[in-house]
Structure 1
Amino acid sequence: MDNAKVNVFDTLMERGFIAQTTNQEKIRELLGSESVTFYIGFDPTADSLHVGHLLQLIVMSHMQKAGHRPIAVIGGGTAMVGDPTGKTDMRRMMTREEIQHNGNRFKEQMRNLVDFSNGRAIMVDNADWLLNLNYISFLREIGVHFTVNRMLAAECFKSRMERGLSFIEFNYMLMQSYDFLKLYKDYNCIMQLGGDDQWSNILGGIDLIRRVEGKEVYGMTFQLLTTSDGKKMGKTEKGAVWLDPQKTSPYDFYQYWRNVQDADVIRCLKLLTFLPLEQINEMETWKDARINEAKKILAYEVTALVHGREEADKVHKAAEAIFSKGVASDDMPTATIERSVLKEGINILDLLVRTGLTPSKGEGRRLIQQGGLYLNNERVDSIDRMVSESDLEDSGMIIRKGKKSYHKIVAE
């Protein structure tokens, strides 16, 4: 590797990624002097990655651009057991088919940020080696290196102790540690990366390799993606913000970042975009109305990373048209209503529930009573308001909830 380049460790540190390292000086030296193979694990318990995973993908991209080789490990085997980390209850057991389907979906989403061509990155499923293990052999060769006392002291198990930790979950640390050993042997993988909630599991793998192979390997964890007041990012009233455009539309994805709190904009720009730090530091001096400009840049850049520049251009243009003129756009989130229903007329609360814009009439009622609902840019003042064909403009109408949530309803 070219030592004249900026060391990727410094880049990750300056941008605010790094939480903990097992040997900071050695890790920095390795990342600056040779090509390192590293891995990050992904739990396939949903059929899409979400915003919480985005940080890991961006780290993989930073590392790969600096000449290092990522291994993305789909936890097909460990998901059959369930990671107790950060959970208060044991998770539903999944079928092999469900896990395989979810893993395949991840591959598509990862390719936007990680280059898998010509072996520059590889993807493996730990089910390939975990599902066929002989239990007795595993206990004799791997289990012998773990003490129960030390495992119980691990942060990932502490939160479960009072409510009960199942034996199946107790095996999780051994399995993840074995993953690291297997990847070390097969691919000379010498570094595991992950969210800071994975620290205990990473240490387990490092210790196992030291005991079995007599070699030092390394671990590095990253800050979890949280708001300035400590809440996990990527949650909305509708649930998680997904990377799959079928689960969270590119427009809604863009709007999520467009609407982050002022206090979170600069941190998100550092963590979730590849904009130069000098440019982001300049934005840190922006005040008042210019903060909104920084939010637009954030929303555009993150959407472009996940969905591509063309899609980001479309949703940015749609958002600008809506906010500046209140006009409808093809890229606005859209619901449909039968034209026959509008001919007869439908109560506004029924319309909101029927089109999925509010989960209940109660929520719609509160929205109207607080003055937060608009139909075609006019405030709805009464819960008795009837909506009919006369409200259509070019076969559609715009509903706005609060200041920033726009939706189009199309008559069919």
Structure 2
Amino acid sequence: MTSAVLDELKWRGLLANSTDEEALADHLEAGPVTFYVGFDPTAPSIHFGNLVQLMVARHLQAAGHRPLLLVGGSTGMIGDPKDSGERTLNSPETVAGWVERIRSQVERYLDFSGPNAARVVNNLDWTGPLSVLDFLRDVGKHFPVNRMLARDVVRNRLEDGISYTEFSYVLLQSMDYLELFRSQGCTLQFGGSDQWGNITAGVELVRRAEGARVHALATPLLTKADGTKFGKTEGGTVWLDPAMTSPYAFHQFFLNAEDAKVVEYLKVFSSRTRAEIEELERSTREQPHLRLAQKALADDVTALVHSPAERDAAVAAAAALFGRSDLRDLTGPVLEGVVAELGVVDLGAPAQLPSVVEVLERSGVVASRGAARRAIAEGGAYINNVKVSDVDAVLSPDDLLHGRYVIARRGKRTVGAVTVRVGS
């Protein structure tokens, strides 16, 4: 038997590994299936890599299956072992705060009403009351140490050392599957391919403890065209929290997707049909300079994560930044996101407002004040999209957007920003 939703996940490049694929397809077709995916609160927000899992959950729910979104209040206090070394343990209070923030984030992406309504669960609810003796007897006895030692991350850490705490993380995550199988009838878990060892350990624990067959699948890790990990900007992780990555910066990140990878990302993050994506693939191949696929990707993902209104504001901000509309029309929060992405320079609260030459140089759009004067003389210098013709020009209070921001530009594409405070 084949499964329409499994075929859709495969076409979209969302299936890297699975337990017996034929059995999984039969199970999905015989559904509805209760499935779960977990998010550990190791930061105040989830990032766009986690959005891959939420997209899988959306596809499965749309096919009639029931989602459980697990926010790991207990596993988040331990942290999955990393190759680079021991994690710093966060306080229970910090983790509890992050659990609530992430709960509110993941709830945005699925339907919490109807016959296959989603539900958020917290593994601290069943791990917290468990005694050490019960944990060792009921869970630990099913884990051969030799198999735990054979895990890649453990083997890589043995020389420098790995704590028993991190060594035991796999038991905690596996216990989640067992608990959700028992209490919710959950028979499918999925996550990123870097979690495959933990995921299959949960499958094995359910088999050993209950004699039941359950299923698992894993999504591929997204990479850039050169094979390096995808998910970092020069400033760090691309977060789904607008206070940590502004909607403008988020939109720009996807707008800059490589031609070689943009269709892959569209399949993952957009709900567009196969015909629509294939048409965008054709345009990328034949007219790459139009960047239609990148624009579709950035628009779709920003609207999903933030809102259609925030998407429109991000598009308007980009247009204004390069002189295609008025910067003064941008709201304060949108402009703040723009200048943060540019790498704004704070000029403080000088006794007198700075000269245009100083702003051009300090913002980084020219290398020196001499270069700033030449840019003005050649007609290629702009303050807030207004061409500057006087090399001795000084900012006026009207030049301070929202009372503090100044956008400097040289030519068509070189843009920078400064902040200036009037008074102290």
TM-score normalised by length of structure 2? 0.83
Deviation at 1:6, TM superposition (A): 7.1
Distance in 1 (CA, whole Å) between partners of 2:393 and 2:29 is 64
Which amino acid in the other structure matches residue 320 of structure 1?
A
Cα 1:404–1:107 change in 2 (3 A) is farther
Structure 2 unaligned regions, length at least 5: none
Aligned partner (choices 52, 70, 75) of residue 49 of structure 2? 52
RMSD over equivalenced CA pairs, Å: 3.4
Distance in 2 (CA, whole Å) between partners of 1:219 and 1:386 is 68
Superposition pairs for residues 44-123 of structure 1, below 5 Å?
A: 44-84=41-81, 86-117=82-113, 120-123=117-120
* Deviation per residue, 1:69-105 (Å, 9 max, x gap): 1111111111222210x43111111111111111111
Preserved CA contact (<8 Å) 2:9 2:15: yes
Aligned partner (choices 19, 36, 39) of residue 39 of structure 1? 36
Distance in 2 (CA, whole Å) between partners of 1:35 and 1:261 is 38
Which amino acid in the other structure matches residue 129 of structure 2?
N
SS in 1 for 2:154: helix
Distance in 2 (CA, whole Å) between partners of 1:62 and 1:71 is 14
Identity of aligned residues (%): 38
SS in 2 for 1:164: coil
Question: What residue number does 2:316 align with?
Answer: 317
Question: What residue number does 1:172 align with?
Answer: 169
Preserved CA contact (<8 Å) 2:13 2:268: yes
Preserved CA contact (<8 Å) 2:359 2:418: no
Question: What residue number does 2:245 align with?
Answer: 248
Cα 1:365–1:404 change in 2 (3 A) is closer
Which amino acid in the other structure matches residue 106 of structure 1?
I
Distance in 2 (CA, whole Å) between partners of 1:342 and 1:295 is 45
Aligned partner (choices 266, 272, 283) of residue 280 of structure 2? 283
Distance in 2 (CA, whole Å) between partners of 1:50 and 1:88 is 20
Aligned partner (choices 351, 354, 360) of residue 345 of structure 1? 354
Distance in 1 (CA, whole Å) between partners of 2:419 and 2:21 is 55
Distance in 1 (CA, whole Å) between partners of 2:42 and 2:361 is 35
Distance in 2 (CA, whole Å) between partners of 1:215 and 1:202 is 15
Distance in 1 (CA, whole Å) between partners of 2:397 and 2:157 is 55
Distance in 1 (CA, whole Å) between partners of 2:167 and 2:393 is 57
Preserved CA contact (<8 Å) 1:115 1:121: yes
Deviation at 1:157, TM superposition (A): 2.0
Structure 1 unaligned regions, length at least 5: 353-357
Preserved CA contact (<8 Å) 1:342 1:388: no
Distance in 1 (CA, whole Å) between partners of 2:221 and 2:215 is 19
Cα 1:201–1:14 change in 2 (3 A) is same
Question: What residue number does 1:124 align with?
Answer: 121
Cα 1:404–1:28 change in 2 (3 A) is farther
- Answering whether residue 164 of structure 2 is matched by residue 158 of structure 1, we say no
Question: What residue number does 1:389 align with?
Answer: 395
Deviation at 1:108, TM superposition (A): 2.0
Which amino acid in the other structure matches residue 345 of structure 1?
P
* Deviation per residue, 1:224-271 (Å, 9 max, x gap): 122122222221111111111111111111111111111121011000
Distance in 2 (CA, whole Å) between partners of 1:51 and 1:310 is 19
SS in 1 for 2:58: helix
Aligned partner (choices 254, 262, 266) of residue 265 of structure 1? 262
Question: What residue number does 1:187 align with?
Answer: 184
Q: How many pairs were matched up?
A: 394
State the structure with more CA Rg: 2
TM-score normalised by length of structure 1? 0.85
* Deviation per residue, 1:131-172 (Å, 9 max, x gap): 221112211221111111111112332332222111111111
Deviation at 1:349, TM superposition (A): 9.0
